Amino acid sequence: MDIKSDQIKLITDSEIIDFCGENPIWDHNKNILYWKDIARGILRSFCPKTNAIKSYPLSDTSGFICSTEKGPLLCGFQKHLSYLHLDDSSVKEEKIEAFSLVGEEHALNRVNDGKCDWQGRLWFGTSGMKNSDAEMFMMGSDLKVTKKDEKLTVFNGPSFSLDNKYFYYADTFKQLIMRCDFNSETGELSNKIEYLKIDQGYPEVQQLTARVTYTGRSFSEVG
């Protein structure tokens, strides 16, 4: 899809300035755009019908947000996951007890990025920076959490191919994009390969259109 300059519209004003705006998601049930200021721990929403922007202070900085069919947003905070119940002026956080980063071994880790697949499973991972102790997890609709990978630096940019056959994610400080065969029915991953090697820069965000594209100034295919 070609994006023309006249298709880009500024939706915020001088009173709403994010220090680090990230993770925009479109809720197709409510027709609302959500994003967050990751540095300040603020969730924002924009309604195109009314042009209204609302801001919701959160209890902690967050790594990602996802919409759900049942209504509340799903949010990855530094050490745990929570549902976010929003009204016109406030947010109620409902902690999901199935997952938390506790203990001395996780002192330097935090929840980083996440995304849901078409079956409603949540794929998310942590940041270990350059210590290679970050992990990737999958949480099903039963809220059972399963570890899917480990010894990562920073888990980033989970995405699924358009035909739902492949799962991609970045191991940021290793400058690698990984690819796995993806069984959409069971959620099983297999045949993990180093799909792309980034020569300059660090991969964080990815989009899937007709091909896979990644941040970074250049890359080379290694698998």
The overall average pLDDT reported for the chain is 84
CATH number at residue 147: 2.120.10.30
Eight-class DSSP state of 222? -
What proportions of the chain, in percent to the nearest 5, are helix, strand and coil?
5, 55, 40
Calculate mean pLDDT across residues 138-154: 93
Buried b (16+ CB within 10 A) or exposed e, 64-83: bbbbeeeebbbbbbbebbbb
Whether 1 is covered by a domain: the verdict is: no
Q: Examine the pLDDT at 8 and tell me if it is beyond 80.
A: no
CATH number at residue 56: 2.40.10.500
118: exposed, middle or buried (C-beta count within 10 Å: 0-12, 13-18, 19+)? exposed
Same domain for 84 and 123:
no
pLDDT grade for 154, boundaries at 50, 70 and 90: very high
Q: Examine the pLDDT at 222 and tell me if it is beyond 90.
A: no
Q: Examine the pLDDT at 145 and tell me if it is beyond 90.
A: yes
Domain boundary among 57, 84, 100: 100
pLDDT grade for 155, boundaries at 50, 70 and 90: very high
Q: What is the pLDDT of residues 49-93, one digit of tens each?
A: 999 999 999 988 888 999 888 789 999 998 999 999 998 878 999
The boundaries of the domain holding residue 210 are 105-223
pLDDT grade for 22, boundaries at 50, 70 and 90: confident
pLDDT at 131: 73
Predicted TM-score (pTM) of the model is 0.84
